[in-house]
Amino acid sequence: MRTLVAVTLAAAALLQVVAAFLSVRALPHSGSYRYPWIALSLGLVLMVERRVEPLFDFHGGVEDLTDALFALSISALLALSLIGLGRMVRAIRANQEHLARLAITDPLTGLANRRHLLAELERELHRAGRSGHPVSVLMLDLDKFKDINDQYGHAVGDAVLVAVAARCTARLRTIDRCGRVGGEEFVVVLPETDAEGAATTAERVRAKLAEKPIDTVGGPLEVTISIGFVTHEPRRPRADEPAGDNVTGLAQSLLRRADAALYRAKAGGRNSVSGDVSDSPANAGLVAGSDSKANVA
């Protein structure tokens, strides 16, 4: 009898230790529930002592066996509960992370959505204000994309957008941020990039897309893009720019100027790059296109 009680109590203590371990292991995944989960973990750890103590103070009688079986049942239920609770906490954390990604991601291309891209631009403008380094913005738009949707259908149009997103990001640095801000419109934020670097990057992206057709279920399609770019120089602020601490207004101003440059690229024949002529003389001549036109005029 004494041996049976000892084995039962040892099993109860072991299960209590397992329950405490499972609770502590799930703690990093508890997120906003961390404080209740910390309390639960501490309580389970302290209860281990109550399961170990009887191992050194029993007589091996029927009464001790009843208590040991009761302790074993409680410890087993706690361990099983912590297994389920741990899985639930990890699932909640995974769902929260998934929802957070959905909130900032364009579901079709996997790029940043408009809200997140604007937030990234504002962060870079904050950083540029502290460091004094330039920030450039590219505005990209597919040429005659409506014709693709009308002729081949939206499924092919979506496939083209996905391919364009992949080809564009393939020619960007890891620190650059690319997002889809409209139906066929993309924006790229280029940290620490002056007007010359922006023009070079824009032309590289334009050429990458135009170098070969995109394979779709409707057959290979020749797709081109037009790009407008603008550069913000913190050391040379423009008179018409918002105050340096108004990064939201500054971000919107840069997007409007990049969009105006994009319009000039479209008007100049498409499949080309155009800089913001209102920014500075440094942008003049920093424009390239497949037809070698001077789109800044």
Taking alpha carbons only, the member of 251, 296, 297, 250 closest to residue 275 is 296
Q: State both tokens at 126.
A: 């904050």
Residue 27 has what DSSP assignment?
G
Q: In what order do the strands lie in the sheet with 225-232?
A: 177-180, 185-191, 135-142, 225-232, 273-275
The SS3 call for residue 171 is coil
Burial 127-165 (b: 16+ CB within 10 A, else e): ebbeeebbbbbbbbbbbebeebbeebeeebbebbbebbb
Decide if 53 is catalytic. no
Amino acid at 160: V
Tracing tokens 């057709």 back to the chain, one arrives at 213
Catalytic residue (choose from 122, 124, 184, 233): 184
Residue 132, phi then psi, degrees to nearest 5: 85, 5
Alpha helices per DSSP H over 113-181: 114-131, 145-152, 154-169
Just list the catalytic residues. 184
